[in-house]
Amino acid sequence: MALALLTVLPAWLIIELCFWPHPQGASEMLARLGAGPYTTASAYCRTRYGWFALACGAQLALWLALASPLVSRAFEAAVARFSPVARAAAIALACTALARSLSLTFGFASGHLLDRAYGLTRQSTWAWLTEQLLEHALAASVTVAAAAAVIWAAGRFGRGWWLVSTAVLSAGTLALVAAQPLLIDPLFDRYIPLQGTPGSERLMELARRAGFDPARLSVALVSHRTTKGNAFVNGLGPTERIALWDTFLEASRADEAELVLAHELGHWRAGHVALGTALALVGLALAMMLFSALFPVPTPRDVPAILLTVFILRVACLPVENAVSRAIEAQADFLSLRYTNRAEAFIRAEEQLARQNLSDPDPPPLAVWLLFTHPPTSERIAMAQRFARAGSR
Ligand SMILES: [Zn+2]
């Protein structure tokens, strides 16, 4: 059964994602981008999908092996002299270190080497590795802390462990979201205030008009590592801020940068960070209810099986998570058009980002359903066209 799943799942994903036929006849995106950029972006994205499918299969195989009774017992025997909480932490550390080594290996091929082949990265292999090790170490420490918290709660509260764990993990999630701009982001990139940078006046004026404090606009200095462009809003309450990547500001015209900032202001105005966090907490509570049914009183020996379930849930929830994300992004797009009333600049900004990031111009439906956090470029452009038509009526 497991073997069949491990062969069928990646093969199905590869067929549906990498070999999905391109649209018959004239594609709107082909006309917009030109044949060269269209073919390059399609090839880049389809190679990434292929790596995603292989990585999924490999991760599932590894987690099934780690959660097998034989390996779980071996882990338990190796750490038998520790306390239950330390045993859980040690087993979680061993499992997560193996799984993260595997994803680092796949990330090297699908992230670093592929981006280098397509001229999207400016990072040396050493710099890439350092950044990735830091990222994986942070994520692994969250996993280890969560496993230790769960086993501590099971020892202290018995069958009520999941209620206490949900409370502890929710508080941890809130703290991480709020602290991200202050504590986590600076570990990876340097941020400077937008004020004083070339062309910042128009952007600051736009923020002011939307009611956002311009002092909370920053520029992320990422051009030493990537050619891709991006912008984002993060933090909660007093830590909220909007950051624009310097690569995007350098590559785009003033009115295109305004549209992208207006999109982020739309996220801020609609409270999307808080909404996303609230939904994540609801998801966490539902997952913990499921865990309480599967593992009534978990022991350190259950840790690999719990982590396998987490992996399966995370993959299974991708379509729901990304559908919510796409709806939120579409709303931010709409708000950006309302703030600026510049559908034509919006369309240029979308084309500019699609070229700069090699976004899939005509993605397979399964890729959108499973992996797209944003609506495809063609849908975003169609939305702007509808907005312009509605305005001119
Ligand atoms: Zn967005």
Distance 387 CA to ligand 1 centre (A): 18
Distance 232 CA to ligand 1 centre (A): 7
Distance 353 CA to ligand 1 centre (A): 13
Distance 292 CA to ligand 1 centre (A): 35
Distance 324 CA to ligand 1 centre (A): 12
Distance 93 CA to ligand 1 centre (A): 34
Cα distance between residue 54 and residue 109, in whole Å:
11
CA distances (Å), 140 to each of 96, 146, 187, in order?
6, 10, 16
Distance 299 CA to ligand 1 centre (A): 41
Distance 13 CA to ligand 1 centre (A): 27
Distance 162 CA to ligand 1 centre (A): 33
Cα distance between residue 203 and residue 197, in whole Å:
10
Distance 183 CA to ligand 1 centre (A): 22
Distance 291 CA to ligand 1 centre (A): 32
Distance 262 CA to ligand 1 centre (A): 10
Distance 263 CA to ligand 1 centre (A): 6
Distance 350 CA to ligand 1 centre (A): 12
Structure tokens at 26: 């004239």
> Tell me, what's the pLDDT at 393?
67
Q: List the pLDDT tens digit at each of the 393 positions of the chain.
A: 777 878 888 889 999 899 888 877 668 899 899 999 999 999 999 999 999 999 999 999 999 999 999 998 999 899 999 999 999 999 999 999 999 999 999 999 999 999 999 999 999 999 999 999 999 999 999 999 999 999 999 999 999 999 999 999 999 999 999 999 999 999 999 999 999 888 899 999 999 999 999 999 999 999 999 999 999 999 999 999 999 999 999 998 999 999 999 999 999 999 999 999 999 999 999 999 999 999 999 999 999 999 999 999 999 999 999 999 999 999 999 999 999 999 999 999 999 999 999 999 999 999 999 999 999 999 999 999 999 999 876
Distance 61 CA to ligand 1 centre (A): 34
Distance 264 CA to ligand 1 centre (A): 6
Show me where the domains of the chain are located: 35-392
> Tell me, what's the pLDDT at 391?
80
Strand order in the sheet with 190-193: 190-193, 217-221, 241-245, 231-234
Distance 307 CA to ligand 1 centre (A): 30
Distance 282 CA to ligand 1 centre (A): 21
Distance 210 CA to ligand 1 centre (A): 16
Cα distance between residue 54 and residue 91, in whole Å:
26
Distance 384 CA to ligand 1 centre (A): 15
Structure tokens at 32: 């917009």
> Tell me, what's the pLDDT at 25?
66
Residues sharing a CB contact under 8 Å with residue 294, sequence separation 6 or more, in sequence order? 309
Short-list 367, 280, 370, 279, CA closest to 316? 370
**Using CA of residue 306, residue 311, residue 317, residue 322, what is the dihedral sign?**
positive
Distance 258 CA to ligand 1 centre (A): 14
CA distances (Å), 199 to each of 208, 211, 240, in order?
15, 20, 23
Distance 135 CA to ligand 1 centre (A): 22
The residue assigned the tokens 């009183």 is 297
Distance 196 CA to ligand 1 centre (A): 25
Distance 358 CA to ligand 1 centre (A): 17
Torsion angles phi and psi, residue 103, rounded to 5:
-70, -30
HEC assignment per residue over the chain = CHHHHHHHHHHHHHHHHHCCCCCCCCCHHHHHHCHHHHHHHHHHHHHHHHHHHHHHHHHHHHHHHHCCHHHHHHHHHHCCCCCHHHHHHHHHHHHHHHHHHHHHHHHHHHHHHHHHHCCCECCCHHHHHHHHHHHHHHHHHHHHHHHHHHHHHHHHHHHHHHHHHHHHHHHHHHHHHHHHHHHHHHHHCEEEECCCCCCHHHHHHHHHHCCCCHHHEEEEECCCCECCCCEEEECCHHHCEEEEEHHHHHHCCHHHHHHHHHHHHHHHHCCHHHHHHHHHHHHHHHHHHHHHHHCCCCCHHHHHHHHHHHHHHHHHHHHHHHHHHHHHHHHHHHHHHHHHCCHHHHHHHHHHHHHHHCCCCCCCHHHHHHHCCCCCHHHHHHHHHHHHHHHHC
Distance 265 CA to ligand 1 centre (A): 9
Distance 346 CA to ligand 1 centre (A): 13
